[in-house]
Amino acid sequence: AKEIIMLGNFTYCNPTRLYFGKDALDGLNKELPKFGKNVLFVYGGGSIKKNGIYDKVLEICVKIGKNVFEDAGVMPNPTTDKLHEGIERARACKADFILAVGGGSVCDYAKALSASVHLDDDPWEKYYVRSEAPNCEIVPVGCVLTMVGTGSEMNGGAVITNTAQKLKIGHVFSDEVFPKFSVLNPEFTITVPKYQMVAGIFDIMSHIFEQYFSGTDDCSNDYIMEGMLRSLIHSANIAVENPKDYEARSNIMWLATWALNTFVEKGKTTDWEVHMLGQAVGAHTDATHGMTLSAVSLPYYRYILPYGAERFARHAVNVWGVNPKGKSTEEIGEEGLSVMEKWMKKIGLVTSISELGVTEEDIDAVADSTLVMKGGYKVLTKDNIKAILRASL
């Protein structure tokens, strides 16, 4: 008999307060006074200096009377080396608060840092290898988001790359490390290059898929995710034609947050194997996160389709509008994936790992860096992983 799972047992609380819209930055005036004087202003490679966000944030901090210290140069796919540099800076300035201004990399880095400043252990070993929870004081974090996709603005995720070990691993911290607040102004994302925008759009899609393609029970979150996917496809089409379309960009921003803020995962086993494959590709190439996901998704989903055919057919019909009449469940599922493939190519997504620099000779090493997840429709063997990576070349 089919196991009745319904939504299971859980507790739900998301502690991050959001400030959304064109005036969202005003939120800093409400939030920053709640925290100590020494603010560590964390940002990336300088895009915020070009588009003026840096000046706006600094002005508010100074007006409130904060002592502002900087930790710049957080790279896309932040590394353990950078994390150690940040720990030194945060200790030296006795940071009371970490203000992250940037994309997922800056937000992730700020969270990893927040749980490492007062840690006596090595953060890579503790959080990423042993996957332990913090047992030290956490420095509170706030985010001003400038690039959309990861959902890092309202979750506990912090993905760090160990370049020496060629491993890219995410630690999901609990509530205490979630940003205390996040500022979401869609206008701040308008200067994001098209390649990054499209990668972010696919990152959102992939986050939804990772949760949607799991389980066979009747879960209200699956219906919500189908609606989110339809809205995402609709707004993505508009944003790709006209990146300055505020309505489309704001819808995409809102979807990104809700795709990965622990809401839709409730009641789901969740898969995350696409992210494990993508992160392994990322560890070997330093490629843009969303593009590593788009490059492996179709071969992966085609590989597991026979094990989750019902859900793939439902996805094809409810998300991509495939007409199911006269077709087998698997045929409907495959038709959904081929409609999706055409759309992915149309909006400019990378659909092969060779484009990201992976060659046949790298396959074994990339497979070695790929973690195996258990919540999807098929638990992969190392040989399955190699076959999927070869099909992604």
User: Rounded to an integer, what distance in angstroms lies between the CA atom of residue 75 and that of residue 48?
Assistant: 13
Question: Which DSSP symbol is given to 78?
Answer: -
Under the binding rule (CB under 6 A), the answer on residue 46 touching ligand NZQ is yes
- For residue 277 the two structure tokens come to 């494959």
Under the binding rule (CB under 6 A), the answer on residue 179 touching ligand NZQ is no
User: Rounded to an integer, what distance in angstroms lies between the CA atom of residue 279 and that of residue 298?
Assistant: 16
Q: What type of residue is 8?
A: G
User: How many Å separate Cα 122 from the centre of its chain?
Assistant: 24
Residue number, 150 or 297, with CB nearest to ligand NZQ:
150
CB of 75 to Zn ion, least distance (A): 17
Under the binding rule (CB under 6 A), the answer on residue 196 touching ligand NZQ is yes
CB of 159 to ligand NZQ, least distance (A): 4
Interface positions, 52-91, toward ligand NZQ (CB under 6 A):
76-77
Of residues 47, 270, 297, 369, which one binds ligand NZQ by CB under 6 A? Answer: 47
How distant, in Å, are the alpha carbons of 58, 100, 241 from that of 63?
8, 18, 40
Under the binding rule (CB under 6 A), the answer on residue 215 touching ligand NZQ is no
From the list Zn ion, ligand NZQ, none, which binds 152 (C-beta under 5 to 8 Å, kind-based)?
ligand NZQ
Where does this chain touch ligand NZQ (CB under 6 A) — which range of 86-94, 185-193, 300-308, 319-327? 185-193
Question: What is the per-residue binding string for ligand NZQ in 96-115, x denoting contact by CB under 6 A?
Answer: ------xxxxx-x-------
Select the residue whose beta carbon is closest to Zn ion and give its number. Answer: 203
Sign of CA dihedral 269, 275, 277, 283: negative
Q: Which of 342, 336, 290 is nearest to 317 (CA)?
A: 336
User: Rounded to an integer, what distance in angstroms lies between the CA atom of residue 119 and that of residue 295?
Assistant: 37
Question: What is the per-residue binding string for Zn ion in 189-218, x denoting contact by CB under 5 A?
Answer: --------------x---------------
CB of 278 to ligand NZQ, least distance (A): 8
Sheet with 17-20, side-by-side order of all strands = 17-20, 181-184, 141-145, 97-102, 38-43, 67-71
Site residues for Zn ion per CB under 5 A: 203
